[in-house]
Structure 1
Amino acid sequence: MNIDVIQVLLVDDDAGLRDLLRAFFQQRGIEFSVLHNANNLANRLALERPSIVILDVMMPGVDGLTALKNLRASGDDIPVIMLTALADDVDRVVGLELGADDFIGKPFTPLELFARIKAVLRHHSGRMPAAAPARQDIYWFGRFRLDLGARVLYCDDKRMKLPHASYALLEVFVTRPMEILSRGRLLDLLYGPDADITERGMDLSVWRLRRLLTEDPSQPCMIQTVRGVGYMFVPSEIEREDSP
């Protein structure tokens, strides 16, 4: 990755932090711009397409989580790192489920942020090689149909709305049926080895996905807990259909 082409947009109401990071990145020849709040983030991105957005959670007006939710709902998949002074891991989980690529807690050093930026951009650039053939795999399980090509889940032919992180977690499970996956393995598959999220946060993500998939709350979910180890996807039936 050539760091000379990185363009960073910081959205934060902290003037001191904006000045600190501007000086740090400009000294390294990296394009750096700022927004004082997230009220007009979508309009800014329509005019300027940075490599990555650094988005503070706590801001007056439109908060960071709401801004992120609006971005992902519009279909914008620009890389986003959230900044937060909150210690509660649940807030991090919410942000990741809304589509954040990473979280970093305040206070932090500019060097740490720079390392996170490079890691996220490497992850994005390596998601799918440009020459990779398109795939249209479809997985059926129970009343559900997961179309990996369209990244859509259907239940009885009705399209379901899934948060970004819930879809990613479902894809991991469905493509690995009957495989025991530890919490650490799930975290690595979903967010990479440097993800700032705990195993407790992973349990919350699984719980939320279970709620989306449970047809009858009185019956066991397809995502089974393997006590002391992790989870296993155990569908009643599963088929894979590969499009030509």
Structure 2
Amino acid sequence: MASETKRILIVEDEEAIANGLRFNFEAEGYDPVVLGDGPSTLAYFEENSHQVDLVVLDLMLPGMSGYEICREIRERDQSVPIIVLSARNLSEDKMHAFDCGTDQYVTKPFALPELLSRVRNLLRRPRAPLVVKHATEIDEFQIQDVHINFKTFEVVCGEETHQLTTMEMQLLRYFIEHEGDVLSRSRILRDVWEQGADVSSRTIDNFVLRLRKYIESDPANPKHLLSVRGTGYRFVANP
């Protein structure tokens, strides 16, 4: 039983699955709200974002994909936990969902105890723009001519501004807070992603490729986010 009432927004057009999720979330002490399409979901979130504690999101929805919904929610709220629940099981689908800002990805058919465990873990996470597990919090950081704002999730380089997702910014913060350290992929997975998240070492490599596009003048020849062969990565602010 949850210690306090948490509202879970269920975005699912299959009635049997939606009703099953509603029943089990209510049994756990949560307050579930079920919606079946993108426009109604975004309209509800626009009015009630401060009351939504977690989103469970299908990808294949009528009229508007779950990817679009996830992206729209992230533009309004960078911190609300989002779990994608989808029959799509290709790595490309998962990466696209992570690109759009989801926190975790669960494939159908799913094990209910595992889903409930993921929900509990995400709801324990403080509602803040970032979860910092180690060092002193920083709001801004400068890498030569690149300015990083952790409050607005923006990376500014010259006249170009990039809006980062929650996981992109969380990973970038992790590298900055461990400047100079050689960080193995397994350590990054353990420290940055939630336990049990459906991600692999390849996921980290893809995230690093995107971060290099934001902070490197020549992403093909990085000077800040360096690869350490056979191990992982090392961040250097001033090479």
Q: TM-score normalized by structure 2?
A: 0.85
Pick 1 or 2: higher relative contact order, CA cutoff 8 A, min separation 6. Answer: 1
User: Structure 1 stretch 200-209 or stretch 93-102: which is displaced more?
Assistant: 93-102
- Greater displacement, 134-143 / 100-109: 134-143
Mapped partners of 2:34, 2:139: distance in 1 = 41
3-state DSSP of counterpart to 1:235: coil
Report the CA distance shift for 1:46/1:140 in structure 2 as closer, same or farther (over 3 A): closer
Task: State the secondary structure of the residue aligned to 2:125.
Answer: helix
**Total equivalences in the alignment:** 233
Shift of 1:197: 0.6
Q: Indicate if the aligned counterparts of 2:59 and 2:86 stay in contact, CA closer than 8 A.
A: yes
Aligned-partner Cα distance in 1 for 2:153–2:219:
26
Deviation at 1:217, TM superposition (A): 4.9
CA distance in 2, matches of 1:63, 1:218: 33
Matched AA of 1:205? F
Task: Show the counterpart of 1:240.
Answer: none
Q: SS at the partner of 1:121?
A: helix
Q: Is the 8 A contact 2:138 2:150 kept in 1?
A: yes
Match of 2:233 in 1: 231
* Residue of structure 1 equivalent to 2:33: 33
Structure 1 letter corresponding to 2:147: R
The one-letter code of the counterpart of 2:38 is: A
- Normalised by the size of structure 1, how large is the TM-score? 0.83
Shift of residue 83, structure 1, vs aligned partner:
0.7
Q: Confirm whether residue 189 of structure 1 aligns to residue 197 of structure 2.
A: no
Shift of 1:195: 1.5
Q: Where in structure 2 are there 5+ consecutive unaligned residues?
A: none
The aligned runs of 1:33-72 (5 Å cut-off) are 33-48=33-48, 49-72=51-74
Matched, 1:162 2:164: yes
Does the 8 Å CA contact 1:42/1:71 hold for their aligned counterparts? yes
- Cα deviation for residue 145 of structure 1 reads 2.3
Q: Partner of 2:16 in structure 1?
A: 16
Contact 1:210 1:221 in 2 (8 A): no
In 1, Cα distance between equivalents of 2:159 and 2:37: 40
Pair 1:93–1:124, CA change in 2 (3 A): farther
Indicate the residue corresponding to 2:83 in structure 1.
Answer: 81
The aligned runs of 1:89-238 (5 Å cut-off) are: 89-124=91-126, 137-156=139-158, 159-217=161-219, 219-237=221-239
Q: Look up the equivalent residue of 2:6 and give its one-letter code.
A: I
Percent identity between matched residues is 27
8 A Cα contact 1:223 1:232, kept in partner = yes
Instruction: Name the CA distance, whole Å, in 2 between partners of 1:204 and 1:184.
Output: 15
Give the unaligned 5+ runs of structure 1.
Answer: 238-244
